[in-house]
Structure 1
């Protein structure tokens, strides 16, 4: 197995075509799978065309990334394009894209079946499923994927992002770019594969029970009622309770409502996921907005009747956590050396660390050295928590390919 990364900083479509085409010509990698990410203003269709022209038999998956991408050498411009190209002729890879439509779970399952067929591995269990989709229906997407593979293999991925949550995100595959689809890639590598999925927060001591959710947006997953709108915590308006937990940061929004991403990124909510090695594990839930009726909207589903925890974090902790997640993934490839690394760092966390984002590269480099690496910044993250594939917010994941 061999790998290489390409970064192109393109400020116009002319730059895109010329610089990316030139960079693709210079690589000596004969890619079998390509992961591609780019800033919101780039032309995903053009990127797909250039990649598939250069690597006509390669699997392709990716999409837009908030404020551009990072590689092993540093952070690049907001309109940058990053490719991670893996040459593994003894492995099998496949991908497929499907519109989410009215049945995101069905679309995800159909895409997974098609990806397995594309890899010529129909009916087999991949070493890993990697997914990239539009935000908003991640729990249904995970349900569809799990209907086929359960939790027998890790499902890792992210939700495509833009710079300011206005919805101009895209996803790409060999078929081009889409705005509201799920792209699924199946990986059967010939060498060891490691992965990690964690958050960088701890409880701040406040907790309550979700006593009422908005039934108008209950998501279509099996089990108890789920929603992304919390009406009440402990029988009181959810936004007021949460505001008390975070020291009145939302005082200016309680009466009129509004987006609260900036105020809540370092103080999100979470649900208890279990205990590992004696340490409590949590799945993070990022509050999105306050409604004028006192409700909270979130970027992940919550369950009526469940306990909800308030968390705390800081920029240093988030940056260090990315290194720990990478280290965890490296340990799983045992005696192999890292050949490539694919890192997801939540776009909300990226905004929270602000000017310290450049330190992320140093943290990753301490673990991965000069290993070809691409970091994308997403608006939702998926991965296994205590062996169960989940969707969460403000999470960090790493997939490391062994040489």
Structure 2
């Protein structure tokens, strides 16, 4: 190794699967031993069947100086080696002697925006970069307060810094997701990492769906409440009561061809029925091409209202979207390629990457998921990457940080 190589950014991914957390960690440790890595940052994602405390103890003991973050990922992880599958634990080690990295975690209480502010200041302090603007912020959090978290982070960095990440998932949307930060595992928390790479980071955030031709205006939503006061602070929420002054579920059912007719009165979960038919919000255009932020309807409520996995404001025009397996497979590779293209040196400077892929898309793709990991690996030219599967995705789209569903985000590290 020459003197120039000593200061390159290096990535290595490690994935092992098994039913015993101790045995799986032992296998990972043997592989990591052979790598000789001294990481500045460790990402760790894993199937929720595993013991969080054991994983935390291992990472903290093995890499005491590294910033760390991660948590549960639906049915495991993927990497350049393929789909890890059920029972898998994955780690991505990033070695960058000239960069600065810090992580911090908080529990999300009644004021998640304030908690997010607290967390980013703590992460900056951990990186010894208080008051500085990171190149990128990476987050992993409990689902449910994503918009408030982004609002809190924006109070500190605005949209000058991309916010990328995901909402931790379990294997069957029962709420058994967890987050892992520098203080240990949580089930109701937020982990924030600040990245000051010495060589640069590229990023991309997209969905794999297209408009079906139907659209309408959100005319009434269920309000978000603020803290214990119960005061409505914005005309936005995760319950769409009406579209064009009609019950939202009735309108949505027409848009998707009547597939929900039998559930309109009974109500309940429609998550599996709607993965290929999300709602979209026009996020703007690039070279004449419209980009959409996607919203996943998950339940029909009383009064034929719709519950969603993301907040929507009254007055927003919603577009009916549709997807195909082939597009969801191809899109992951395209997002990874777009992140790589955003590096100053393009693919010639690529060291590897990190991908967030929606768990709903993963379940919809099913047996073809190995093709997704292959597509990402091809775009990252076979270099190390780690992918997690989430129930909410955060990213920067048209220079604005946002939360969406059924999305894909990627970051690429320059070496």
With structure 1 as the length reference, what TM-score do the two structures score? 0.97
Q: Which moved more, 1:325-334 or 1:369-378?
A: 325-334
> Is 1:310 aligned with 2:350?
no
Q: 2:284 aligns with which of 267, 274, 296?
A: 274
> What residue in structure 2 maps to residue 104 of structure 1?
112
Match of 2:178 in 1: 170
Q: 1:17: Cα distance to partner?
A: 4.2
Q: How far does residue 76 in structure 1 lie from its aligned partner after superposition?
A: 1.4
What SS class does the counterpart of residue 173 from structure 2 fall into? coil
Secondary structure of 2:303's aligned partner = coil
Matched ranges for 1:32-51 at <5 A = 32-51=40-59
Q: Which runs of 5+ in 1 are unaligned?
A: none
- Corresponding position: 1:95 with 2:103: yes
CA distance in 2, matches of 1:309, 1:387: 21
Partner of 1:329: 339
Question: Where do residues 2-21 of structure 1 align in structure 2 (5 Å cutoff)?
Answer: 2-21=10-29
Between the aligned partners of 2:168 and 2:119, the Cα distance in structure 1 is: 17
Contact 2:225 2:233 in 1 (8 A): no
Aligned residue among 169, 188, 191 for 1:161: 169
Residue 258 of structure 1 deviates from its aligned partner by 1.1
| Superposed CA offset, 1:154-186 (max 9, x none) | 010100001111011011012111000000000
For residues 249-285 of structure 1, what are the alpha-carbon distances to aligned partners after superposition, in whole Å with 9 as ceiling and x for unaligned? 1112111111111111111001111111111121100
CA deviation map 1:94-136 (0-9, x unaligned): 0000000111111111000000000000000000000000000
> What is the total number of aligned residue pairs between the two structures?
402
Partner of 2:406: 394
Separation of aligned partners in 2, 1:15 and 1:375:
22
Contact 1:326 1:367 (8 Å CA) reproduced: yes
**Corresponding residue to 1:299 among 295, 309, 313:** 309
Q: Name 1:373's counterpart in structure 2.
A: 385
Aligned with 1:41: secondary structure?
coil
Counterpart for residue 197 of structure 1: 205
Matched, 1:343 2:349: no
| Counterpart among 37, 40, 47 of residue 29 in structure 1 | 37
The whole-number CA distance in structure 2 between the counterparts of 1:48 and 1:232 is 45
Aligned with residue 287 of structure 1, among 297, 301, 306: 297
CA contact (8 A) 2:41 2:66 kept: yes
Give, in whole Å, the separation in 2 of the partners of 1:249 and 1:65: 29
Q: CA deviation at 1:43?
A: 1.5
- Taking the aligned partners of 1:303 and 1:151, their CA distance within structure 2 comes to 20
Alignment equivalent of 1:352, drawn from 360, 364, 367? 364
CA distance in 1, matches of 2:294, 2:217: 16
Match for residue 240 of structure 2 among 200, 218, 230? 230
Whole-angstrom CA distance in 1 between matches of 2:197 and 2:181: 19
Counterpart CA distance in 2 for 1:4 and 1:318 is: 26
Deviation by residue 1:283-338 (Cα, 9 ceiling, x = unmatched): 10000111132010000000112111110111111111111111111112232421
CA distance in 1 between counterparts of 2:107 and 2:34 reads 34
What is aligned with 1:82? 90
1:26 CA displacement: 3.0
- Which of 225, 229, 253 is residue 263 of structure 2 equivalent to? 253
Q: Distance in 1 between matches of 2:34 and 2:53?
A: 22
Alpha-carbon shift at residue 218 of structure 1 (Å) = 4.7
Structure 1: how far apart are the matches of 2:111 and 2:374? 42
- The gaps in structure 2 that reach 5 residues or longer are 1-8
Q: Is the Cα–Cα contact under 8 Å of residues 179 and 185 in structure 2 kept in the other structure?
A: yes
Q: How much has 1:19 moved relative to structure 2? A: 2.5
CA contact under 8 A between 1:218 and 1:228: conserved in structure 2? no
Give the deviation of 1:219 after TM superposition: 6.7
What is the distance in 2 between the residues matched to 1:134 and 1:281?
A: 26
| Cα separation, 1, equivalents of 2:232 and 2:384 | 40
Q: Is the 8 A contact 2:22 2:54 kept in 1?
A: no
- Contact kept in structure 1, 2:226 and 2:233, CA below 8 Å: no
Indicate yes or no: 2:77 matched with 1:69. yes
**CA separation of 1:262 and 1:371: change in aligned 2, threshold 3 A:** same
2:258 aligned with 1:244: no
